[in-house]
Homo-oligomer: A and B are copies of this chain.
Amino acid sequence: MSYIPLTDEDARKMLAAVGKSTVDELFSDIPGQIRLSERLSLPEPLSQLQTERRANQLASLNASGQVFAGGGVYDHYVPAAVDYLSSRSEFLTAYTPYQPEVSQGTLTAIFEFQTMMCSLTSMDVSNASMYDGATALAESALMARAHTGKSRFAVSGTLNINYRHVLETYASAAGLELVFTHCEDGITSPADIEDIIDSNTAAIIVQNPNFFGSIEDLSALSASAKKHGVLMITVVAEAVSLGILKGPGECGADIVCGEAQSFGNYPAFGGPLLGFVAATKEFTRKMPGRLVGRTSDADGRESYVLTLQTREQHIRREHATSNICSNEGHLALRAVMYLSMAGPGLAETAALNHNLAVYLKESLIKAGLVEVFKAPFFNEFVLRTEDSSSFIRRLSEKGYVPGIELRDFEGLENCVLFCATEKLTKEDIDRFVHEAGRVTGRVK
């Protein structure tokens, strides 16, 4: 197979036209001693059919059972219209919309995305996407430092563990100081946060719903932040929760960032994902990433264009607000299609998620698992098993993705983070719980 439409005859003619007698002459600027004489050591080519066969074999080695895990990636239903429309190649095979006259499709959709994200987060401005929730948080922290000139962050210990790790990586490279609260009861204590804040603190960082699924008291936390004159960065990793929960802006957040994969995008083994950053208008010129603005064309027709590019690396180079260039535009497009399909019905979906999660939690407790936190939660929650490794292993053997073992949290040994989405029915849950009961010994 080859995707090269030149014939041998074409290649000969072209070589003649450039005045070379062999293709190798075209590479003569490469020093002779490093010019490759042997073939690349790659497997011999397969036909499309063979390749598909091989991919199918590999795909069949992956989990195909139902998903009871979340933790930053959620298995929501994707309407067929989203798959179809986003796959149209005018969207899929375009580059970043540098030429607005032939990119109004992408540009309009991103403008719509920005609008919807602002509406959901109760913020003034949203960018066109970031790599993922974790890097969106890291970039938000950098933005907060740039805004405040301060580099310390008071971070809730209920932050998604992977986000924490990524934030730490960025912090150590970029010179941010992170201080984490403890979180014994799975919820952020405003007092603990305030204890950490000092005069060099830029912002507090809190996730809602937090990593354990619990719903934080954002207003109280915002009051703490305001009291000390620091910003509040709120992380939303499960965007569907915004269907029923208040936009963090309403609770006083200055920056809202996180992950919107839940809107019309597949789990895809954790990538690509859809990071986002939204903020109050003070941050407009400090935002990382692309922004699309409204304007008009030479005939006065309403149109859209990448704007405020003086923030960006291709203009400002080392002074840019971020180094990001390619982002996750296609996932943002899918999100906007998803939200158009969902509309206000997103509230119903969110409620359904919640109700199923409540049912799952109650059922698992009946099956012998033990409640850990009492706080209200959205669609995730933590329960304690006797032996989390064996619990996960035995349910995995049944094909399930049964939840996430909480390995790195003191006091949460043998705890598992569970999740339910609208893709599960009560009967699905009953079957899963039945298997869980066999592990706990409640079901023989």
Binding site for B on A (CB under 8 A): 48-49, 52-53, 77, 79-80, 84, 87-89, 422-423, 425
In the complex, which of the residues B48, B80, B84, B423 contacts A80, with contact meaning CB atoms closer than 8 Å?
B48
- Note all chain B residues with C-beta closer than 8 A to A52: 77, 80
12 pairs, A vs B, C-beta closer than 8 Å: A48-B77, A48-B79, A48-B80, A49-B77, A49-B422, A49-B423, A52-B77, A52-B80, A53-B425, A84-B87, A84-B89, A88-B88
Knowing that A52-B80, A84-B89 touch, tell me 10 more A-B residue pairs with CB under 8 angstroms.
Answer: A48-B77, A48-B79, A48-B80, A49-B77, A49-B422, A49-B423, A52-B77, A53-B425, A84-B87, A88-B88
A80 to B48, CA, bound (A): 9
- Note all chain B residues with C-beta closer than 8 A to A49: 77, 422-423
Closest to A81 in B: B48
- Note all chain B residues with C-beta closer than 8 A to A425: 53
**A309, chain B: closest CB distance, angstroms:** 33
Closest to A84 in B: B87
Closest to A53 in B: B425
A263 to B106, CA, bound (A): 35
Interface centre among A49, A53, A77, A423 (most CB of B within 10 A): A49
A438 to B89, CA, bound (A): 49
- Note all chain B residues with C-beta closer than 8 A to A80: 48, 52
- Note all chain B residues with C-beta closer than 8 A to A77: 48-49, 52
**A59, chain B: closest CB distance, angstroms:** 14
A52 to B78, CA, bound (A): 11
Closest to A48 in B: B79
- Note all chain B residues with C-beta closer than 8 A to A89: 84
A320 to B305, CA, bound (A): 56
A53 to B427, CA, bound (A): 13
**A419, chain B: closest CB distance, angstroms:** 17
A87 to B83, CA, bound (A): 12
- Note all chain B residues with C-beta closer than 8 A to A84: 87, 89
A289 to B171, CA, bound (A): 71
- Note all chain B residues with C-beta closer than 8 A to A422: 49
A87 to B85, CA, bound (A): 11
A87 to B422, CA, bound (A): 28
**A243, chain B: closest CB distance, angstroms:** 15
Interface centre among A77, A79, A422 (most CB of B within 10 A): A77
**A442, chain B: closest CB distance, angstroms:** 28
**A440, chain B: closest CB distance, angstroms:** 28
Closest to A88 in B: B88
- Note all chain B residues with C-beta closer than 8 A to A53: 425
**A330, chain B: closest CB distance, angstroms:** 15
- Note all chain B residues with C-beta closer than 8 A to A423: 49
**A219, chain B: closest CB distance, angstroms:** 34
**A18, chain B: closest CB distance, angstroms:** 29
Closest to A348 in B: B47
- Note all chain B residues with C-beta closer than 8 A to A48: 77, 79-80
**A81, chain B: closest CB distance, angstroms:** 9
Closest to A80 in B: B48
A423 to B441, CA, bound (A): 46
Closest to A49 in B: B77
**A424, chain B: closest CB distance, angstroms:** 10
**A-B complex: 7 closest residue pairs judged by Cβ atoms:** A49-B77, A48-B79, A49-B422, A49-B423, A84-B87, A88-B88, A48-B80
A160 to B77, CA, bound (A): 44
A49 to B53, CA, bound (A): 29
A423 to B49, CA, bound (A): 8
- Note all chain B residues with C-beta closer than 8 A to A79: 48
**A349, chain B: closest CB distance, angstroms:** 9
- Note all chain B residues with C-beta closer than 8 A to A87: 84
**A429, chain B: closest CB distance, angstroms:** 14
Closest to A77 in B: B49
A48 to B48, CA, bound (A): 33
**A341, chain B: closest CB distance, angstroms:** 9
A151 to B88, CA, bound (A): 51
A84 to B89, CA, bound (A): 9
**A54, chain B: closest CB distance, angstroms:** 11
